[in-house]
Chain A
């Protein structure tokens, strides 16, 4: 029933299919720079960043049951911190920008998390929205530090180097693409391990019954704070990767609309592990295609999203896992019995 093809000595079983598809996808992503121009690379990097943001949103929403409208805030903190570090260094280093900015994001999410996680449901959504818009106002008004409305320009795409060991020039977009791709793949893999770990199980417990979690001997507040910080780091990483790619930065990155894009991606894809990733790809491609035809791209995009959300309850991946795949399986096994 599960044997689809026979190679010499190796049987491709049905369980192997997702794994094989994944390997194929990764190989495709690795060879893309050989065949496509900078525009496609840029698009893929933007999608990967949206994926990281969507994972961040889904860790809070799908796994822990908290809707955050403020993940754009950590994206912006990561982006601006990275920009300031790279611009402030005499000979900028990408590693310094990366780890320095992530450290700042961690501290910021710890402080803001401490203030936010006492609230749940709509109160949590509102307080994260407020913090995000406060940061937006700060970035716009604090011209001396953030460049105000005009933002920051001429951010160096610093080389990836460890002195006396190696140095990789990041100026060609193709090189920077690998940096983004490898970090994103690592982050996605770590996320996979996280949500299947005991800590991930605690997060899901919080989603289902907060009261019961405290009665299993696990601290609700500490666990929720940990979740908030990890989610902040994922959003921050997306922002850190964004800055050297664009080399310019404006306060728009911290606008609430930055926070809602990954939420829409999660709703399209579904609140599973793969849902946010699939949703991000679909959202970005649909948006880009419509954008070519009309400047009123929000209207058709909105209609498509409404249709997707209403017809695919539980998102695309949720519908696939619950509805379509069992149906295909039952057809396959039915045929074999005949």
Chain B
């Protein structure tokens, strides 16, 4: 299996506060990895460094061997990285279809067209339909995104992330705030997509059921550093992890 993403000594300070403490990691394509850790451990900050929302104070990031440390976000998306957000980041006044159309148009290089209608590109339309069917929102395609239920908004959030056809996709708490039924739906979706092998997923999650049922590899973060890293069962037995994060009953 080939390496898809590598961090070399990634460090991020917010003022004096050390948020990410020299993290070096390597991710292989096709391995579904979960990152867990207490609040403030630096999980989302790490994703922000990988996706270009933040610039590291020190260290380097490589995507498929290419240095992306200083690349702006939109260029990283073009390279094949994508993400969903923990705090809902959809386009509330656009329809569900338009939400997915935007990344799809960018994917096909049609986003600068100013004359033809956004619906007129058939290859884009086909891809949008495929993505919306994947996230089970095809029936709701003409609904304004801001009027969806919470669970459906989370699905749309994933739909937008997937519409840029990423090779690597970060999911920041994909099941947060969902009811059990919706949670199962999302779990099944991630499993199906991961098994197709087109996209490598790295997931931040608080729900341990989700983590244990999905992941091939588990990374535990605490205070900006990697506490444990390995196969799920192996990390689960780690004494330090139990004390700090998982609690005795696990």
Contacts and interface: CB of A to CB of B under 8 A. Distances in A.
A214 B48 CA distance: 13
B72 interface: yes
Contacts of B89: 209, 211-212, 215
Given A205-B91, A208-B92, A214 B72 contact: yes
A331 to B, nearest CB: 24
Interface stretch (B2-10, B18-26, B75-83): B75-83
Nearest to A199: B114
Contacts of B83: 215
B14 interface: no
Interface residues of A, number: 24
Interface size class of B (residues with CB under 8 A): 35 or more
A218 B91 contact: no
Contacts, number: 103
Contacts of B107: 217
Interface string A185-218: 0000000011011111110110111011111111
B187 interface: no
Interface in A85-135: none
Interface in B108-135: 110-118, 121
Nearest to B92: A208
Interface string A213-231: 1111111100000000000
B159 to A, nearest CB: 11
A205 B117 contact: no
Given A212-B90, A216-B164, A193 B114 contact: yes
Contacts of A215: 51, 73-74, 77, 82-83, 89, 103, 160-161
A194 B103 CA distance: 18
A212 B72 CA distance: 13
B61 interface: no
Nearest to A208: B91
A207 B103 CA distance: 16
B102 interface: yes
| 10 interchain residue pairs of minimum CB distance | A217-B77, A216-B103, A217-B106, A208-B91, A214-B73, A199-B114, A198-B105, A198-B113, A212-B89, A216-B102
12 contacts: A197-B116, A198-B116, A198-B121, A199-B112, A200-B114, A200-B118, A201-B111, A204-B98, A208-B93, A211-B89, A216-B160, A218-B74
Given A193-B115, A197-B116, A208-B92, 18 more contacts: A193-B117, A197-B115, A198-B110, A198-B121, A199-B112, A200-B114, A201-B94, A201-B101, A204-B98, A205-B94, A208-B94, A211-B85, A211-B89, A213-B102, A216-B103, A216-B106, A216-B160, A217-B106
